Amino acid sequence: MAGNLNQIYLDHAATTPMVQPAIDALTAQILKTGNASSLHSTGRSVRKELEEAREAIAKAAGCAAIDVIFTGSGTEANNLAVKGLYWLGAKTGKKTIITSTFEHHAVMDPIKWLVEHEGATVIEIPVSSAGVVDLNTLQDAVTKQADQVAFISIMQANNEIGTIQPIAEIVKIAGAIPVHTDAVQSFGKVDFNFTSLGLTAATISAHKVGGPLGVAALILKKGVNIEPVLHGGGQERDIRSGTFNAPGIIAFAAAANNAIADMQSRDQKVRSLKELLIKKVLTAVPDAWLNGSAEKTLPGIANITFPGTDSEALLLLLDMQGIACSTGSACSAGVHRPSHVLMALGANEDQATSSLRFSVSYTNTEDEIEKLASVIGDVVAKSRAATSKKVFQ
Ligand code: PLP
């Protein structure tokens, strides 16, 4: 059981409970007064702790402290990177953006906005059925259009299927083109070093690594002076105005330290729980399949298609059994849209609305996986009985 949740929680990629050091840091800080930008000693004392937190996050992410720009969410950091790098490029006539077909909506949608409102052009690099971007297509696009490309944005790990992308190779192919990576799911779970990867920008978010909701960072190489989205008090290199969320930032640093310190030992435990989950679920439902490669993935994410079912029905039936997971795809205004990620891998619409994402943490147990395995067959049978979808192969 996770935190205060009276459920078997297999949805850690959506958000994960705060770790104790982050709770301690947050509660201690929230009781203090002081705006970290104020010049009096109360303000300066908060600022000192905030700058120590910046140093800690920089160390965890392999960048300089000056590179860290705190934001209110990963979504905000992605919007800032996408719009900021585009506007910077557009100043010298570079109006093309290269991205992949399976980015998170927080990257896809600001790009779409730039196309609709500012005349940007997009090149979407396809992904293989294993869930990895096609480097040959990327190389071709870069070779043909290098002088028109404002930036490349490709995620380090996909949030629905967990596959890890070859960021070092992407940066090499990019040459002088700035590269942004959305590392929201990968930071704290697998190796990430901003400087040695040669990135220009990266997004990380506290609530995916045991920190609080509503705090994140855009890591942006010093000297890359993008246009802000928010204008105001000039905080964060004048790139992200707004009074510092000192409690959130300090708790984010505590969570990042905790995640990095235990990354290796947690990795082994989480991977073996995930492997058990995949084995047990595929045994219980023999015609189900795992989406994306089983190699080079995040330790905790397994996305499984259950043919002839409806993923929302599966989710709710599992919920009734006390098990929380995710459909992986966006649900807006009650309309269940097929997963663009699974469609990018080659799934048809029926298949892309028949899958579940299970995301495991080191806090889960084998007993919890056994419980899932004991109910999944019945849950799938009930969903099949209630839909008109065909069981396909
Ligand atoms: N990018 C990825 C890959 C994510 O998985 C998420 C959250 O699910 C986000 C961005 C958005 O981050 P936040 O929830 O901090 O806005």
Confidence (pLDDT) at 49:
97
Over the stretch 116-134, which tens digit does the pLDDT of each residue have?
A: 999 999 999 999 999 999 9
**Euclidean distance between CA atoms 247 and 36, whole angstroms:** 10
Instruction: Output the six-digit token pair for 151.
Output: 């930036």
**Euclidean distance between CA atoms 308 and 167, whole angstroms:** 36
Over the stretch 240-259, which tens digit does the pLDDT of each residue have?
A: 999 999 999 999 999 999 99
**Total-model pTM:** 0.96
Q: Is the four-CA dihedral 78, 83, 89, 93 of positive or negative sign?
A: positive
Closest atom, ligand 1, to C-alpha of 205: 15
Q: Is 73 in the pocket of ligand 1 (CB under 6 A)?
A: yes
* Ligand 1 center–CA 231 separation, angstroms: 23
Over the stretch 289-315, which tens digit does the pLDDT of each residue have?
A: 999 998 899 999 999 999 999 999 999
Confidence (pLDDT) at 366:
98
Closest atom, ligand 1, to C-alpha of 216: 15
Residues carrying an active site annotation: 331
CB of 94 closer than 8 Å to CB of 85: no
- Which of 163, 184, 189 to mutate for ligand 1's pocket (most ligand atoms within 8 Å of CB)? 184
* Ligand 1 center–CA 15 separation, angstroms: 9
Q: Is 189 in the pocket of ligand 1 (CB under 6 A)?
A: no
Residue whose C-alpha is closest to residue 61's, from 194, 171, 218: 194
Strand 201-205 with 216-220, pairing: antiparallel
Helix intervals (H) in 31-166: 41-61, 74-90, 105-118, 135-145
Place of tokens 């209630």: 386
Q: Pick the more confident residue, 335 or 144.
A: 144
Confidence (pLDDT) at 257:
98
Q: Kindly report the protein residue whose alpha carbon is nearest to atom 12 of ligand 1.
A: 74
Q: Is 75 in the pocket of ligand 1 (CB under 6 A)?
A: yes
Percent of the chain with pLDDT over 70: 96
**Euclidean distance between CA atoms 393 and 390, whole angstroms:** 10
- Which of 82, 103, 158, 208 to mutate for ligand 1's pocket (most ligand atoms within 8 Å of CB)? 208
Place of tokens 């400087």: 195
Confidence (pLDDT) at 1:
46
Residue type, 324: A
Closest atom, ligand 1, to C-alpha of 14: 8
Asked if residue 48 has pLDDT above 50, the reply is: yes
Q: Is 104 in the pocket of ligand 1 (CB under 6 A)?
A: yes
